[in-house]
Copies of this chain bind each other. A is one copy, B any other.
Amino acid sequence: MATLKYSRQRESIKNYLLHTEEHPTADTVYMHVREEFPNISLGTVYRNLNLLAETGDALKIPTPSGGDRFDGKTTPHYHFICTCCGKVMDLDMESIDHINEIAGKNFAGQIESHTTMFYGKCEDCILKS
């Protein structure tokens, strides 16, 4: 990949991701960064989010029913997505690296444990039902 040059827009996006817990969509990032850069385009947001994901400065989290989410917290941790309301949450739990031994009996691939995605119902949705 070509050498990265500094850009104020990218810095702002990176900074926003570091200070939010909501795992925003590209569009949400766009809305926020536009407060500082009113002329920024959605294309630029996408380009930078992908760059940050490549350099490891952000995580790109695919979700069912469209719209990737982004996370500025890059230390290994697990994610949970509520299939009811779509909310993406961090799971603060111990590593499940041993999953490779469990799966390994019939599987010769290598699971990258901390990219595992969990689905279910979040607390709010359980209470509402």
Contacts and interface: CB of A to CB of B under 8 A. Distances in A.
A106 interface: yes
Nearest to A87: B109
Contacts of A103: 78, 80, 91, 93, 118
Contacts of A62: 62-65
Interface of A: 60, 62-65, 68, 78, 80, 82-83, 89, 91-94, 96, 99, 102-103, 105-112, 115-123, 125-126
Nearest to A68: B64
A116 B115 contact: no
6 contacts: A62-B63, A64-B68, A92-B106, A93-B103, A109-B122, A111-B119
Interface-central residue, A63, A96, A107, A115, by most chain B CB under 10 Å: A107
Contacts of A89: 107, 109
